[in-house]
Amino acid sequence: MNDTHHHHHHGHAHGHDHSELSEIELRVRALESILVEKGYVDPAAVDALVETYETKVGPRNGAKVVAKAWADPAFRDRLLRDATAAIASLGFSGRQGEHMVAVENTPQEHNMVVCTLCSCYPWPVLGLPPVWYKSAPYRSRAVIDPRGVLAEFGVALPAATRIRVWDSTAEVRYLVVPMRPEGTEGWSEEELAALVTRDSMIGVGLPLRPGEARP
């Protein structure tokens, strides 16, 4: 176990030392060899699955959804009423997005999404979750100390803003629709989408403002 002196960093693969990485690498390799040899798994299917999530699905999908909701009031209404259908109409659907709900930030209420029990996340619109989303610090604190978590992301909301945390305990997946930044009147959906960060769609960040460089 982790007895390195004063080494209290846990739960991140990149925090592990080399010998442990080798251990898990060997374990995964062994598993793949067995599963392929037994014919349960087509290694080309594994390649295709990995390639899909590494290159084809990601938060630009969600940004298009949000930008359209900002630009098109009828789409926004459909999105808030039936997010699964509205998102599918843009071509995003399927695994880990079968039952979508979109929740809209307002000056009165800020939404934030977590999965305290595992790592539920809306893959078709956001891609795979980042390490921190799946790790104990976020999962443990989002429901009890969301302002403390937001502060670690550099977000300070007005004290009067209510914070609404959605714990994804079922197969429903939540997409936060952040508030449209000021100064974007008349912008195209493409221009708007460039302001929509992944963090803003989880609720741990705010969209970029006009002129603000993507971090």
Partner 1 sequence: MNGGQDLGGMMGFGPVQPEPDEPWFHADWERRALGLTLAMGATGQWNIDMSRAARESLHPAEYLSSSYYEIWTKGLEKLVLQQGLVTTDELKAGHALTPPKPVARVLKAESVPAALAKGSPAERPAAAPARFAAGDRVMTRVMHPAGHTRLPRYARGKRGTIERVHGAHVFPDSAAAGAGERPQWLYTVRFSGAELWGADADPSLAVSIDAWESYLEPA
To partner 1, the closest distance from the beta carbon of 39 in angstroms equals 5
By three-state DSSP, how is residue 195 classified? coil
Quick one: 95 or 209, whose CB is closer to partner 1? 95
- Strand stretches in the chain, DSSP E: 99-104, 109-114, 162-167, 172-177
Of residues 19, 33, 93, 120, which has the active-site annotation?
Answer: 120
Q: Does 122 bind partner 1 (CB under 8 A)?
A: no
Site residues (CB under 8 A) for partner 1, limited to 148-207: 149, 152-153, 159-172
Contact of residue 4 among partner 1, a copy of itself, none (CB under 5-8 Å per partner type): a copy of itself
Of residues 22, 33, 118, 140, which has the active-site annotation?
Answer: 118
Helix 43-51 × helix 18-37 angle, to 10°: 130
To partner 1, the closest distance from the beta carbon of 117 in angstroms equals 5
Is 115 part of the annotated catalytic residue set? Answer: yes
Of residues 19, 33, 89, 119, which has the active-site annotation?
Answer: 119
| Residue partners of 99: CB distance under 8 A and separation at least 6 | 84, 170, 171, 172, 173
The conformation of residue 48, written as its DSSP 8-state character, comes to H
At 163, list the tokens: 């914070």
Q: Does 214 bind partner 1 (CB under 8 A)?
A: no
Which positions are annotated as active-site residues? 115, 118-120
